[in-house]
Amino acid sequence: MKPPDPSSGSPSFASLEPARYAMGDTRRFAERMGLLGMEPRGELCLTGYALANSGEEYLILQPSETAEAITVTLEPSTYSVQWFSVNARETKSAGEVRIESRGGTSFAAPFAEAGPAVLYLRRVGR
């Protein structure tokens, strides 16, 4: 297959790579989550970007290019914590966190470089 000619107005394959990566990364999250039970719950975090099945699992986007912490309102339980760096496409486990009472809990991304990140929390023992 011949790549499109940029002078024809068609985008180059290289310019489409970020979109292709984003679709693949989104698919991988969707495959491991209980996506049917999730609903948009922007009020649970200051970023406004949250999918949640409260008390079970949460997927939060921190879209900022800075290393801002994410504060999420969680139900009491123990959750496994996983981070995904959008720019580096790197995943890091951050262990578990025990939430004793409903309220805001802050999380800081563990990546050396600042940038957009996704926080995935899943109740332990499901």
Please identify which residue in the block is written with the tokens 């969680």. 74
114: tokens are: 């600042």
Classify strands 57-62 and 90-99 as parallel, antiparallel or unpaired.
unpaired
> Which residue blocks in 1-59 are alpha helix, DSSP H?
13-32
Answer for the pair 70, 84: CB distance below 8 angstroms, yes or no: no
Global pTM value? 0.83
Sign of CA dihedral 66, 109, 41, 73: negative
The residue among 97, 94, 89 whose CA lies nearest residue 110 is: 94
pLDDT digits (tens, 9 = 90+) for 27-81: 888 888 888 899 999 999 988 999 999 999 999 999 988 878 899 999 999 999 9
In this model, does residue 5 exceed pLDDT 90?
no
CATH topology of domain 12-123: Immunoglobulin-like (2.60.40)
pLDDT digits (tens, 9 = 90+) for 15-30: 888 888 888 888 888 8
84: tokens are: 């995904």
Spell out the domain ranges in the chain: 12-123
- Residue 41's pLDDT is what? 95
Conformation bin of residue 111: beta by default, left when phi > 0, alpha when psi is -120 to 50: beta
Answer for the pair 114, 65: CB distance below 8 angstroms, yes or no: yes
Higher local confidence (pLDDT), 29 or 91: 91
How far apart CA 124 and CA 126 sit, in angstroms, is 6
- Residue 10's pLDDT is what? 76
pLDDT band at 3 (very low <50, low <70, confident <90, very high): low
49: tokens are: 């970007």
